[in-house]
Amino acid sequence: MNSLVKADIRKLGIAAVLFAAIYGMLETEIIGAFWELNLVLIMINIILATSLNMINGYTGQFSIGHAGFFAIGAYMGAIMTVKLGYDMPVALIVGTISAGIVGFLVGLPTLRLNGDYLAIATLGLGEIIRICILNIEYVGGASGLMGIPRLTTFPMAFWIMVAILFFIKNFKNSAYGRACLAIRENEIAADTMGIDTTRYKVMAFTLGASFAGTAGVLFSHYFFIAHPASFTFMRSFDILTMVVLGGLGSMTGSVTGAIVLTFISAALSDFPEWRMLIYSVAMIVLMLYRPQGLFGDKELSLQMIRSLKMGGKKNDD
Amino acid sequence: MVRTKRILSVLTAGLILTAAISGCGGSKGSSDTIKLGGNLEMTGGSASYGISSRNGIELALREVNAKGGVNGKKVTLVVADNKSEATEATNAMQKLISQDKVVGVIGPNLSSAVIASTAVSSAARTADISPMGTNPKVTVDDHGKVKPYNFRACFIDPFQGTVMADFALNTLKVRRAAIMIDNSSDYAKGLAQFFREKFEAGGGTIVGEEMYLQKDTDFKATLTKLRDANPDFLYIPGYYQEVGLIIRQAKELGLNVAMAGGDGWDSQKLAEIALPENLNNCYFSSLYSPDDTSKLNKEFVESYQKEYKQKPDVFAALAYDSAKLFIKAMEDAKSADPGKIAEALAQVSGFTGVSGSIKFDGSHNPIKAAVIIELKNGRQTFRTKVNP
């Protein structure tokens, strides 16, 4: 057995222990219904942030239309269960694939753009998807699609999240992932080295979009409703904020960003007027003192902690 | 670098710690107080609704507590922010019920937020009164069945559209109406639909109909189109943000006709956006006017003004009535048990609030009067009251 597989099994073991601990606390009601809801929300946000990190962080393509793919998953999943009467697994698969297909179709032309232009195109795309939904009476139009049963459970959200995290982690370490990293570092150089840049950019974009779709299915089946107002560009920016907070290009950074921001938002719900203020101040402080995000593009691991102990100079630019 | 790093880590740690402390503090409800929840729009696009509602509820509870509370217990309000959004409203509802252990919830005001969040309150068998959720589905589910735990303090959309069509035809004597509809809001669509039906049935013509979306800022192209259709009445059943801009731009284009809308106009911000001099010959239907001459309302307006230095709007008044409805239900049930409160609410009778007398029909909709408010130089004045 090679060492990578061994490391994976060890990480899976850690995930299982974590799951058992949280699940135990849920069953014994140490964690109440409110925090259970926020745990699920954290998992959905982790999926969103890490999948956006694949596009923005690994491949270096600045996309800010993630809410659009999230919406497609949410609505397609809800159509499957509410309108057509299928089960949750079908909804998950259809939601994921349809978001992926849309991601592929729009990725092909738009990924030929770069930098600011791509950002604007994806921003527009996210809004187009939302406005389309807003005008489709079949899915409720402006009132949203209502009457969605709560089929998302904590174990389901947890293991789907773990599966996606493993996929993304291994993607980064695969030949495909290395090609994506090369494109991020220098697209012309990567092209010269024989990497089909468009192919890998579209691949990362499609995968990122599909996972956002998965998150969408989980989301709409937990909150009873799929409503266009939940998928505005503010949602895209929220996801982007999580990625940037954790550090572009770091998967563990995205996970941390998603946890921290969702947690702050929930914990400060008693002080609604202060919530936005604290949130904004935290962002400003972070951008002033650590523009590369909490983790930069490093992954959180034992090795990183060890190097911090040595003086931490390596991580400071 | 080392120093900045230290500052940063202290800041982050402090932030997380405050969050943890405030979050995990949980509820240590003592048995001599009863907690009422407010699932309100404290931030986001409709923040002014939520803040007014909170003021109204607080005023009602202060009055009740000054008289010794209900069933010998004081009543306190716990507010949760729903960020003017449906999924956050679900989150807030869950928090109020499972963390704060409230006996009943007032809010949200936005229909979509109510419909999403009441799935949680229904499952927890806790009564909810939405002060301003006007969509029919707020109290009735998809299959037309009444939701046993959901009530509202306002009448439903169709009634407002009908009232305004009547008023336009009979009082303003207009015959050619144009409609501007906020296409991203089912509230606006509902009002427009019932206005159109009643107006055409009463002998009027709809000469033009245009759509816009929330957050649009330039309406000149559509307004020019409508102006060319030569209407003598413009119906804009939207929210104050866009309506203010529409009125202003219409006047700039020389469209000087009577304009009207629904209760989405009711905000102090409307005059700021549209400019006061543009707000003449403008009317909106509403559930409440601070100039209403009933004794109860006069007292309410007086104490509200003393407390908050402004006139109460409809959200404050209806939230006040919602809180009083809960108090009445607790007195009737002689209990603060959420299930019993819900039962008592459905059978409330002889209740008179600041917005008039309220009694729930079979679908948990109140039977009550509507008012027409006229804007004179941006100031709201009570015009007339229309009974159902």
Within chain A, where are the H helices? 3-27, 33-53, 66-78, 88-110, 115-134, 154-173, 175-185, 187-192, 197-220, 233-246, 251-267, 272-289, 302-309
- The C-alpha atoms of residue A51 and residue A192 are separated, in whole angstroms, by 28
Q: What are phi and psi of B213, to 5 degrees?
A: -120, 155
- Cα torsion A189, A195, A199, A202: sign: negative
B51, amino acid identity: I
Statement to judge: residues B316 and B202 lie in one domain: no
Return the percentage of chain A with pLDDT > 70, whole number: 95
Q: What are phi and psi of A224, to 5 degrees?
A: 70, -10
Residue A50 is predicted with a pLDDT of 96
B22, part of any domain: no
Contact call for A227 and B112, based on CB within 8 A: yes
Q: Determine the angle formed by the axes of helices A154-173 and A175-185, rounding to 10 degrees.
A: 70
Nearest CA in chain B to A219: B87
SS3 of A8-76: HHHHHHHHHHHHHHHHHHHHCCCCCHHHHHHHHHHHHHHHHHHHHHHHHHHCCCCCCCHHHHHHHHHHH
pLDDT over 90 (residue A276): no
Among the partner residues A224, A264, A276, nearest to B43 by beta-carbon distance: A276
Statement to judge: residues B229 and B340 lie in one domain: no
Residue A207 is predicted with a pLDDT of 96
- Is the CB of residue B215 less than 8 Å from the CB of residue B156? no
Distance from CA of A18 to the nearest CA of B (A): 20
Out of B286, B303, B334, pick the residue that ends a domain.
Answer: B286
Instruction: Identify the helix (H) or strand (E) that includes residue B212.
Output: strand B205-212
**How many other CB atoms are there within 10 angstroms of residue A116's CB atom?**
9
Average pLDDT for chain A: 88
Residue B21 is predicted with a pLDDT of 44
B129, amino acid identity: I
Among the partner residues B18, B119, B186, nearest to A141 by beta-carbon distance: B186
- The C-alpha atoms of residue A78 and residue A82 are separated, in whole angstroms, by 6
B208, part of any domain: yes
Q: Does B189 touch chain A (CB under 8 A)?
A: yes
Contact call for A146 and B11, based on CB within 8 A: no
Statement to judge: residues B83 and B150 lie in one domain: yes
Q: Kindly list the residues from chain A whose CB atom is less than 8 angstroms away from the CB atom of residue B193.
A: none
- The C-alpha atoms of residue B26 and residue A292 are separated, in whole angstroms, by 35
What's the pLDDT tens digit per position in B251-308? Answer: 999 999 999 999 889 888 898 999 999 999 999 998 888 888 888 899 999 999 999 9
Residue B101 burial class via C-beta count within 10 angstroms: exposed 0-12, middle 13-18, buried 19 and up: middle
Statement to judge: residues B148 and B161 lie in one domain: no
Q: Looking at residues A293-317, what average pLDDT do you find?
A: 64
Q: How many domains does one find in chain B?
A: 2
Q: Does B42 touch chain A (CB under 8 A)?
A: yes
Q: Kindly list the residues from chain A whose CB atom is less than 8 angstroms away from the CB atom of residue B8.
A: 285-286, 289-290
Contact call for B137 and A143, based on CB within 8 A: yes
Residue among B370, B348, B374, B327 at smallest CA distance from B66: B327
Statement to judge: residues B167 and B180 lie in one domain: yes
Specify the CATH number for the domain of residue B304: 3.40.50.2300
B112: containing domain = 33-155+293-369
B258, part of any domain: yes
- Is the CB of residue B331 less than 8 Å from the CB of residue B70? yes
Instruction: Identify the helix (H) or strand (E) that includes residue B84.
Output: none
pLDDT over 90 (residue A266): no
Statement to judge: residues B131 and B178 lie in one domain: no
B12, part of any domain: no
Contact call for A34 and B183, based on CB within 8 A: no
Low-confidence ranges of chain B (pLDDT < 70): 1-31, 388
- The C-alpha atoms of residue A222 and residue A134 are separated, in whole angstroms, by 21
Q: List A129's β-bridge partners, or say none.
A: none
Which pTM was predicted? Answer: 0.78
B142, part of any domain: yes
Domain boundaries, chain A: 32-233
Residues of chain B numbered 100-129 and touching chain A (CB < 8 Å): 111-112, 115-116, 119-120
Q: Kindly list the residues from chain A whose CB atom is less than 8 angstroms away from the CB atom of residue B85.
A: 227, 229-230
Out of B236, B254, B286, pick the residue that ends a domain.
Answer: B286
- For residue B366, the SS3 value is strand
Residues in A whose CB is inside 8 Å of some CB of B read 32-34, 37-38, 41, 131, 134-135, 141-144, 146-147, 150, 219, 223-225, 227-230, 260, 263-264, 266-273, 275-276, 278, 282, 285-286, 289-290, 312, 316
Q: Does B23 touch chain A (CB under 8 A)?
A: yes
- Is the CB of residue A272 less than 8 Å from the CB of residue B42? yes
Contact call for A229 and B189, based on CB within 8 A: no
Q: Looking at residues A210-229, what average pLDDT do you find?
A: 93
Q: Does B99 touch chain A (CB under 8 A)?
A: yes
Statement to judge: residues B302 and B280 lie in one domain: no
Pairing mode of beta strands B282-286, B370-376? antiparallel
Contacts with B201 (C-beta within 8 Å, 6 or more apart), sequence order: none
- B318 vs A7 pLDDT, higher one: B318
- For residue A263, the SS3 value is helix
